[in-house]
Amino acid sequence: FYDPNCNGKQVMVHLFEWKWTDIAAECERYLAGAGFCGVQVSPPMEHVILPENNYPWWQRYQPVSYKLYSRSGSEAEFIDMVHRCNSVGVRIYVDAVVNHMTGTGRSGIADGGSSYNANGDARDFPGVPYSAEHFTPRDQCPSGDGNVNDYSNPSNVRNCYLVGLTDLYGKLDYVREKVAGYFNQLIQIGVAGIRIDAAKHMWPEDISATLSRLTDLPTDQGFPAGSKFYVFQEVIDQNDGAIKVDEYYNTGYVTEFRYCSKIAWGIKDYGQLSNLIDYGWGMARSDRAFIFTDNHDNQRGHGGGGNVITHESPRDYKQAVAYTLAQDYGFTRIMSSYYFTNTDQGPPSNGGYSTADVIINGDGSCGGGWVEFRNAVVGTSMENYWNNGNAVAFSRGNKGFFAMAKQGSMSESLQTGLPAGSYCNIIDDCASSIQVGADGTAQISINNYEEPILAVCAGGCG
């Protein structure tokens, strides 16, 4: 569960709420050439539809069945996307919502045609099918109202209803079989892995028992024989409760939310960048840490929110994402979302429920240089680390060098770790370059307020 199945590439992008047809085109148009490992897609299963809330993005976190029919498109469109992305070497990772089904008190018919009823004691999801006996019995949940409300007690966190969502009883073979059936269906199509939503609210042994039922990835979609599903688990551990990321190491990577806080502090105060990764604070080991500057929840103040840097402060955001991709910790994901003024707002629409097409500007902007840098320096560690509180620089072995200046300018003679020669800066498309002398040092100058960053690779990054 630890190999993302993309030939050693290092960066995933979350195309939040994008439609399958748009993602397929994006794989072919841009992501393949820019060196992306793959795409995290929004939950593809059938979900509730909530006109009364103006079709919020979070309706997709309330499953009705595992039929592949969602706001992003039909099953046929999903399969076409996976196949087209695989054929240009870009993998698809599904956001898997399997801790729960819909909220209590909800009933109706979803877009794929399946009915659901979670009114009162009813727990009817005939599209799977699940019924009342497949949900966590009330006596297993130690909270007064049946909802999660005590993060110091694992039984409360894992057996009670998360924000009123009907909690699947993952102990049952029947539930494990159904969830594994969903995953095996994805595998057969050629999906390379999953994010397990709300994994913190699931028992690690239930996840493990479910994953033990999975088949290998299909060779006809370009996976070497014996390839396994890649798994990253959403565990929000901010040292604020009983559940720790290391309980989930046996079943894959874990989301490291402390990194979001750390990089935000580091960009505010460059001095902090020197101790970004704090194992004493419980941060996940590097080969289990799944990291990001922000995610779909915390950029909206959902999922507990937090002090994170988002697109709302573009200059800081560029620095945070650049640093994240240049340093050597964890597996990285970047975020591509949509503009919003309200934290519940769904994606741009054609009116009502129908999601608008993504429009690609003529210049195709959004530089791929960072992804290429991270791929080019894979397997090297950070060396020659230098930080004066206003500017920071380091090498990645003898393959790459990175520098960033908080105020927009710096000029310093630094050890680059690179062989002698001239290297061009990927950030300004090689308009500037550095000259490395026989002793490995170079004069590092930055003069760019908006993008105060420099990165070079031995042999070029691309």
Write out the residues near Ca ion by the rule CB under 5 A: 99, 158, 167, 201
| Only segment of 158-166, 173-181, 239-247, 373-381 that touches ligand LAG (CB under 6 A) | 158-166
- The answer to the question of residue 58 lying near ligand LAG (CB under 6 A) is yes
Q: Which is nearer to Ca ion, 22 or 167 (CB)?
A: 167
* CA distances, 303 to each of 49, 191, 234, 257, 297 (Å): 21, 26, 11, 11, 5
Q: How far is the CB of 197 from ligand LAG (least distance, A)?
A: 5
Catalytic, 28? Answer: no
372 interacts with ligand LAG by CB under 6 A: no
Nearer to Ca ion by Cβ, of 95 and 167: the residue is: 167
> Could you tell me the two tokens for 141?
């949940």
CA distances from 427 to 13, 254, 268, 346, 368 (A): 19, 30, 21, 33, 9
398: Cβ contacts below 8 Å, ≥ 6 apart: 380, 417, 418, 419, 458
Q: How far is the CB of 201 from Ca ion (least distance, A)?
A: 4
78 CB-near residues (< 8 Å, 6+ apart): 20, 44, 68, 72, 189
Contact call for residue 348 and ligand LAG (CB under 6 A): no
Q: Which residue in 18, 20, 55, 61 binds ligand LAG (CB under 6 A)?
A: 61
Kindly state whether residue 165 participates in binding ligand LAG, applying the rule CB under 6 A. yes
Residue number, 197 or 247, with CB nearest to ligand LAG: 197
> What is the phi/psi pair of residue 455, to 5°?
-145, 135
Which window, 57-65, 262-270, 410-418, 443-451, contacts ligand LAG (CB under 6 A)? 57-65
Shortest reach from residue 211's CB to ligand LAG, in Å: 18
Residue whose entry in the numeric block shows the structure tokens 């005590």: 150
**For ligand LAG, the closer CB: 197 or 237:** 197
Using alpha carbons only, give the angle 66, 231, 123 rounded to the nearest 5 degrees. Answer: 30
Q: How far, rounded to the nearest angstrom, does the alpha carbon of residue 272 sit from its chain's CA centroid?
A: 24
In 10 A of CB 269, how many CB atoms? 11
> Residue 70 or 425: which CB sits closer to ligand LAG?
70
The torsion angles phi and psi of 139, rounded to 5 degrees, stand at: -75, -5
Of the residues 17, 26, 95, 234, only one is catalytic, namely: 234
Stretch 249-308 residues interacting with ligand LAG (CB under 6 A): 297, 302-303
- The residue sitting closest to ligand LAG, measured at its beta carbon, is 103
Contacts of 354 (CB under 8 A, 6+ apart): none
Chosen residue from 12, 101, 198, 393 binding ligand LAG by CB under 6 A: 198
Out of Ca ion, ligand LAG, none, what residue 167 binds, judged by CB under 5 to 8 A for its kind, is Ca ion
Select from ligand LAG, Ca ion, none the partner in contact with residue 318, using the beta carbon and a kind-dependent cut-off of 5 to 8 Å: none
Total residue count of the chain as it appears in this document? 462
State the minimum distance, in angstroms, from the CB of residue 204 to ligand LAG.
15
Q: Scan for tokens 């009342």, then name that residue.
A: 132
Burial label, 152 (beta-carbon count in 10 A; 0-12, 13-18, 19+):
exposed
Residues 218-247 binding ligand LAG (CB under 6 A) are: 234
Closest CA to 335 of 318, 349, 354, 350: 318
Size of the site for ligand LAG (CB under 6 A): 15
Of 77, 95, 197, 206, the active-site residue reads 197
Of the two residues 89 and 170, which places its CB atom closer to ligand LAG in the complex? Answer: 170
Interatomic CA distance for residues 310 and 260, integer angstroms:
10
For residue 369, report the phi and psi dihedrals to the nearest 5 degrees.
-55, -35
How do 289-291 and 331-336 pair as beta strands? parallel
Specify the residue, 22 or 197, whose C-beta has the smaller distance to ligand LAG: 197
CB of 160 to ligand LAG, least distance (A): 13
Each residue 411-430 as x (binds ligand LAG by CB under 6 A) or -, in order, gives --------------------
Residue 166 Cβ vs Ca ion, minimum distance, rounded to whole Å: 10
CA distances from 345 to 62, 212, 295, 307, 339 (A): 16, 37, 15, 21, 9
197 is catalytic: yes
- Residues taking part in catalysis: 197, 234
Site for ligand LAG, rule CB under 6 A: 58, 61-62, 97, 103, 162-165, 197-198, 234, 297, 302-303
